[in-house]
Amino acid sequence: MKQSQLFTKTQKDALKDEVSVNAQLLIRAGFVDKEMAGVYTILPLGLRVMNKIENIIREEINALGGQEIFMPSMQPKENWLKTGRWDSMDDLYKVKDASGREAALGPTHEEVVVPLAQKFINSYKDLPFSVYQFQNKCRMELRAKSGILRGREFIMKDLYSFHLDEADLDAYYERSKAAYFKIFERAGLKEVTHLTFASGGSFSKYSHEFQAITPAGEDIIYVCEKCGLAVNKEIKAEAAECPECKNAGFREEKAIEVGNIFKLMNKYTKPFDLAVKNEKGEAKEIIMGCYGIGLGRLMGTVVEVHHDEKGIIWPETVAPFQVHLLSLNQNEKADDIYRTMAAAGIEVLFDDRDANPGVKFADADLTGLPYQLVVSEKNMRDNRVEIKNRKNGAVEYAPLDGSEIVKYFQTK
């Protein structure tokens, strides 16, 4: 894409009201725009990142057997009355139409997915199965904060699994853990993400969170010095030793909860009497698990973990483009190189603007694409282009030739 055609612009100064690094950088670089507290528009660059993240998640959840669906934001009040959450959930947005009929704006989707399952599930032969979606969640956070990390409206991947018995749920739950680790690894958070024991709610002893360590984190976790698992502060009192390896040595860290998996058991199937016939023709209650990842929060966490004083440093897996082509002298050669690379399928953002080199370098560092490809008089005299690695600053050179440059990136 030609940068001159990108309708968003970078800005030099951070907004005074944005304190968090993720929002400052994402807004300055033109990835997101703040609409109101906790509500952000995702701009073209940001959407490319979100789509990359979404596709990583989709691949891993599909591999887990999840079937993708799309459920509505507007949900019937009666379902929420049935589970008791119409009155008990403080952060539930309620909307009213002209006739006074009320509905919920979904903060989560158990109240939709369980009745949905009920329509199609008749027999034990239909189980197990799991469905998931990427969908907007609305939660009336009394205090939105930390930039895009805690919003009032945000995109979430929520997966729901249905099982005949606990052994089957457990097996799926363990597989989901592995899938989540893969997702966070692919998103560039492998080194900082810890499986964390958290409070289990009413039916299981623990739930599991995936906590990414960063100073921007809202949660306090205790990482086991021995096995690397962690315990959320909320249950640290009950867990004096590591639930996994029984070691007692922990280090305290701030972390962001980037994912959560939870055994719901019959908490939501019971209110809807979701049951099937077993082999003997008897009614058998179904149990559930749920598994969430906030996409915006994940993007924000990647920024919190991967940035320096100049800007964002995107991991290649989620970068909006792989290459930032900087034409310092407005020459036709850069245009050729851009066309050749784009035709070869390399994701390249071409800074073709009529701007000073300093502006282009500064914007490239802020935007944070993995590679900066510099075409300039200086390099052209040597018949080469310069390729700078955003992450470590390493500089390499390639011949001043589109197809050679394509080769360079294809063999990376």
Partner RNA sequence: CGGGGUGUUGUGUAAUGGUAGCGCGCUUGGUUUGGGACCAAGUAGUCAGAGUUCGAGUCUCUGCACCCCGACCA
In angstroms, rounded to a whole number, what is the distance separating the alpha carbons of residues 135 and 83?
21
Query: Which pair of structure tokens corresponds to residue 60?
Result: 């891993």
The residue among 31 and 124 lying less far from RNA, judged by its C-beta, is 31
**Smallest gap, in angstroms, from Cβ of residue 226 to RNA?**
27
Question: Within 315-374, which residues bind RNA (CB under 7 A)?
Answer: 328-330, 354-359, 361-366, 374
> How far, in Å, CA of 369 to CA of 300, rounded?
16
Q: Which residues pair with 284 in a beta bridge?
A: 276
Residues 3, 366: Cα–Cα separation, whole Å: 14
Contacting residue, 30, 217, 292, 368, with RNA by CB under 7 A: 292
Task: Provide the minimum distance between the beta carbon of 209 and RNA in the complex, in angstroms, as a whole number.
Answer: 9
What is the end-to-end Cα distance of the chain in Å, rounded? Answer: 21
Which of these ranges, 9-17, 176-184, 334-342, 401-409, lies near RNA under the rule CB under 7 A?
Answer: 9-17
Cβ 200 to RNA shortest distance, Å: 9
Other CB atoms within 10 A of residue 395 CB: 11
Among 196, 386, 387, 400, binds RNA (CB under 7 A): 386
Asked whether 309 and 360 are in contact (CB, 8 A), the reply is no
Judged by CB under 7 A, the residue of 260, 269, 301, 322 near RNA is 260
We find the least distance from the C-beta atom of residue 37 to RNA, in angstroms, to be: 3
Question: Least Å distance between CB 292 and RNA?
Answer: 3
Interacting positions 78-107 with RNA (CB under 7 A): 90-91, 107
Distances (CA, A) of 313 to 30, 232, 308, 316: 15, 29, 7, 9
State the Cα–Cα distance between residues 117 and 169, nearest whole angstrom: 16
Interface mask toward RNA for 134-153; x: CB under 7 A: -----x-xxxxxx---x---
Residue 146 is classified by DSSP as: T
Applying the rule CB under 7 A, the residues between 163 and 222 that interact with RNA are 201, 207, 218-219
Give the whole-angstrom CA distance, residue 401 versus residue 67: 45
Which of these, 161, 174, 147, 160, lies nearest to 46 by C-alpha position? 147
382's CB contacts (< 8 A; 6+ apart) are 397
Nearest to 54 by CA among 120, 110, 136: 136
Per-residue DSSP letter, 14: P
Cβ closer to RNA: 226 or 391? Answer: 391
- Chain-centre distance of CA 42, in angstroms? 13
C-alpha 325/C-alpha 344 separation (Å) is: 15
Q: Which is nearer to RNA, 202 or 411 (CB)?
A: 202
- Residues near RNA (CB under 7 A), total: 62
Nearest-approach distance from CB 169 to RNA, in angstroms: 15
Nearest approach, Cβ of residue 9 and RNA (Å): 7
Measured from the CB of residue 136, what is the shortest distance to RNA in angstroms? Answer: 13
Q: Say which residues have a Cβ less than 8 Å from residue 305's Cβ, sequence separation at least 6.
A: 188, 189, 192, 212, 214
Shortest approach of RNA to residue 277 CB, angstroms?
Answer: 28
- Residue 246 Cβ, how far from RNA at the closest point, in Å? 27
Ramachandran sector of residue 310 (left: φ over 0; alpha: ψ -120 to 50; beta: rest): alpha
Site string for RNA, 227-256 (x = CB under 7 A): ------------------------------
The site map against RNA for 30-69 (x = CB under 7 A) is: ----x-xxx-------------------------------
**Using the rule CB under 7 A, is 308 a contact of RNA?**
no
Please select the residue that binds RNA; options are 378, 383, 396, 412, rule is CB under 7 A. Answer: 378
Binding site for RNA (CB under 7 A): 9-20, 34, 36-38, 90-91, 107-108, 139, 141-146, 150, 156, 158, 201, 207, 218-219, 260, 262, 264, 290, 292, 310, 328-330, 354-359, 361-366, 374, 376-379, 386, 388
